[in-house]
Structure 1
Amino acid sequence: MSSDPTTPSRVDSVAWTLPNILTYARIALVPVLVATFFISGEMGRWIAVCIFIAASVTDYIDGYIARAWQQQSSLGTMLDPIADKLLVSAALLLLAANETIAGISLFAAVIILSREILVSGLREFLATVQVSVPVTQLAKWKTAIQMTAVTFLLCGPEGRELFWFSSELGIVLLWLAAMLTLYTGYDYFRAGMHHVIAADEKDDA
């Protein structure tokens, strides 16, 4: 007699795999990252940088472990991009609030955030018609550049102690990530709209 895949033991075994635990940890670090911006002085900046780097590293590690240990799951597939979006969105909003990102560079942050909302909405719809849109290699590069940009920007003025051009490099990488965001966002939207139109035609038939 085969076991029911929806039994509590089966659900627990999927929910508490190491890759998923790392994803939970990344989500849990988001409010901690926000709290560091209320710490006065350069100490808060460096704590924020360490937290963001640790969270970014878990993004790579959980995917690697999931593939290597064959622990990929629908739960992980759903939560992993959510964790990334929460982390980056929180960081960008905080950097805009303290004017690390200011002026015309705010448009780069708006482009990135808008794309994340658009793709999330598209993925939510496609899930209802049981269609998945795989992450492209270019989108992975975009995420890596985006994470690097935010790391440099989180260093703020204090980052000049390590790299005198850290703030400028952070802004340049942020714009590069924004440009890649536009391209990959359009790519996802074009692929997704094919299924949206197909669903409408099926309903009208």
Structure 2
Amino acid sequence: MTLTLPNILTIIRLIAAPMVAVMFLYFTRPYADWFALLLFVSAAITDWFDGYLARAWKQETKLGAMLDPIADKAMVVVALMVIVAFSSWSPWLVLPATVILFREVFVSGLREFLGDTAGTLKVTILAKWKTTFQMVAIAVLFSQGVFEHYLGMSAYGMDQAMVNAIFAGEEPDLLGLRWKLAAMEWAGVGGLVLLWLAAGLTLVTGVDYFRKALPHLKESNE
């Protein structure tokens, strides 16, 4: 096992994956949302850096090739689990999340079944775009939670009539309720759009991997 800097970054990202969920166990919101968002974005940045450094320094190893997709999948799966758990279980969120989770499990199962021939399922450019869309979508959805709870904190103690008057422009918006609501809504819609795009790419790449694996599956049944 070779512990190069790229491999160390990958291992840190792998360890960070469950910490996204732990944030919501030990911190109240919106602090948990903030910590999870910063942790997830930092991990996503290291995903680019470890691959870049491994190629630039010619330090590509079997350990890194094995751990990198595992770390990516762990980050995405844990983050989606947290987002869905703290959401209203809207089908607009649950459906793309389900597609993504199913595909990740399915492709992982294919790789395990193929064993030594799993090299036929090499990561494609489209698969890398899929991962990028997933991570950006999840980061945006985490930011929605931040805006939502700051909005609630700002409106705390106000009655509904006062809140309605502020949104209608009849009362001064001293605490920024209007921009916090707009940011929450834009983050929510933008995050869902990105998540659906990610789910579409996830489905396409999953079908592509299955198509590539199909000849080997047929051979194993003869």
Interval of TM-score (by shorter of Structure 1 and Structure 2): 0.7 to 0.9
Q: Does 1:25 align with 2:12?
A: yes
- Choose which of 134, 142, 156 in structure 2 pairs with 1:154: 142
Match of 2:215 in 1: 194
Task: Verify the 8 A CA contact 1:22 1:62 in the aligned structure 2.
Answer: yes
CA drift of 1:114 comes to 0.2
What are the equivalent positions in structure 2 for 1:86-101 lying under 5 Å apart?
Answer: 86-99=74-87
Superposed CA RMSD: 1.7
Q: Does 1:174 align with 2:195?
A: yes
* Structure 2 stretches lacking a partner, 5+ long: 149-179
Q: How many residues matched? A: 188
Ranked by relative contact order (alpha carbons within 8 Å, sequence separation 6 or more), the top structure is 2
Q: Which has the larger radius of gyration?
A: 2
Task: Verify the 8 A CA contact 2:120 2:212 in the aligned structure 1.
Answer: no
| One-letter amino acid matched to 1:41 | R
Task: Verify the 8 A CA contact 1:91 1:150 in the aligned structure 2.
Answer: yes
Distance 1:183 1:191 in 2: 12
Secondary structure of the 2:120 match is coil
Distance 1:20 1:74 in 2: 10
| One-letter amino acid matched to 2:221 | D
Q: Does 1:34 align with 2:11?
A: no
CA drift of 1:73 comes to 1.0
Task: Verify the 8 A CA contact 2:33 2:145 in the aligned structure 1.
Answer: no
CA drift of 1:107 comes to 0.9
The normalised TM-score by structure 1 is 0.85
* Structure 1 stretches lacking a partner, 5+ long: 1-10
CA drift of 1:36 comes to 1.2
CA drift of 1:196 comes to 1.7
CA drift of 1:195 comes to 1.8
The normalised TM-score by structure 2 is 0.79
| One-letter amino acid matched to 1:123 | R
